Amino acid sequence: MTESSKTPQLDELESGPWPSFVTEIKRAAEKSEMSADLLGLLERSYHDKIGHWKHGGIVGVKGYGGGVVGRYTDLPEEFPNVSEFHTMRIAAPSGWFYDTDALRELCDIWERHGSGITNVHGSTGDLIFLGTKTEELQPTFDELSEAGYDLGGSGSDLRSPSCCVGPGRCEYACYDTLDMCYDITNEFQDELHRPMWPYKSKIKMSGCANDCVAAAARADISVIGTWRDALTIDQDEVKRYAEGGLPIREAVVEKCPTRCLRYDQETGELTVNADECTRCMHCVNVMGRAVKQGKEKGATILLGAKSTIVKSAFMSWVLVPFMKMEAPYDEFKDLVNRIWDWWDENGKTRERIGETVYRIGMGKFLRDVGLEAVPQMVYRPRANPYVFWPQEEILQEAAGQEGEPA
């Protein structure tokens, strides 16, 4: 080396077997001054052990309130090419299926207008165009729009819905996650692109309870595929698994959380007590050619998941135990609209729907959105007598009793 490197710490992250993001930034830097400055700024962060991005004013494109995240460095004199370095979130196709024509087209657009750096993908599921100047935002969008693409969500709006691979490549999909994701994303374009709520809201769709897109952990409205009749068991296939060396009792029956499976070692038959099965997917996962999901398929709708900020992490809880999930998804859309209306009315700023329901109470929420309370919603009933009795119910009850004959 004749010249000492300007990025010694980042250079260190180019070694090792895992593909390096530093190599990627350097590759983009060969063509883009923005990316070259990003590399320098990041090295500075490695040296200072502190981030060098700050809040900016609101930036965006015409007709949209979301989809662009504004970023400015706090060291604009030293790194002028990232003095403005905004992210654009590009709506991805359901299940992240692409063809190379589409990907190349997107790459060409981004190379013309931005840093040439992307995230494939951001955690929400959008394709991320990482970093460009304010003046490039509208031209980038115009080209994207012309080619048939669109922005995703950001800010206090519906974030881009996303889904698992579903019927595209999975035998466990209990409904068409890909179609539903595409359908509802188009239905809720206004909610997605024009922030109008207390905070963000997410819808994620998993075709079964394996939940490959972590809907139960992070989606305000989680749609998780299930069925409501009995597992079907193919006894010939069961025997084939046994012959193949699968220890059925140990690996399947004893791991069943409700002990609803029975395996007769002598006859080689596996049977299920369907009333006790909670459809957890374990047996299907382990011996899917023998044990199949039931035939009456749909989804469970759960509400309220979010990460820790602000009132701790919430996992989604059951709201509708079973809903048929078929186009045009009217029942689902109607429910979602009622939920959002209620949240809009009752939520505080930066409060996710789960936090609002927790603060105000499930009872009131259910009454207001018109859902019946069912035992599937809770693990167990309350252990205190402090019911917030709706007084009108008591008045009605009293009136009813008066009206009855003695």
In whole angstroms, what is the distance from residue 48 CA to residue 51 CA? 8
Specify the residue, 186 or 396, whose C-beta has the smaller distance to other proteins.
Answer: 186
Contact 90, 127 (CB under 8 A): yes
CB of 291 to other proteins, least distance (A): 11
Strand partners, 106: none
Q: Which is nearer to other proteins, 137 or 371 (CB)?
A: 137
Cβ atoms 181, 219 nearer than 8 A? no
Nearer to other proteins, 176 or 343 (CB): 176
Closest approach, Cβ 398 to other proteins, in A, equals: 38
**In the bound complex, what is the minimum distance in angstroms from residue 339's beta carbon to other proteins?**
21
**Cis bond upstream, residue 76 (ω within 30):** no
Nearer to other proteins, 193 or 301 (CB): 193
Distance of CA 85 to the CA centre of its chain: 26
Q: How far is the CB of 392 from other proteins (least distance, A)?
A: 32
Tell me the residue type at 193. H
For 371-388, give the secondary structure using H, E and C. CCCCHHHCCCCCCCCCCC
Nearer to other proteins (CB atom), residue 146 or residue 372: 146
Specify the residue, 21 or 322, whose C-beta has the smaller distance to other proteins: 21
Residue 70 contacts residue 86 (beta carbons within 8 Å): yes
Which backbone phi and psi does 223 adopt, to 5 degrees?
-115, 110
Cβ proximity to other proteins, 31 vs 262, nearer residue: 31
Strands 68-69 and 53-54: unpaired
Burial of 194 (0-12, 13-18, 19+ CB in 10 A): middle
Closest CA to 68 of 29, 114, 16: 114
In angstroms, give the least distance from the CB of 226 to other proteins: 9
In the beta sheet, which residues pair with residue 271? 262
Q: Smallest distance from the beta carbon of 401 to other proteins, in angstroms?
A: 40
Min dist CB 351 to other proteins, Å, is 10
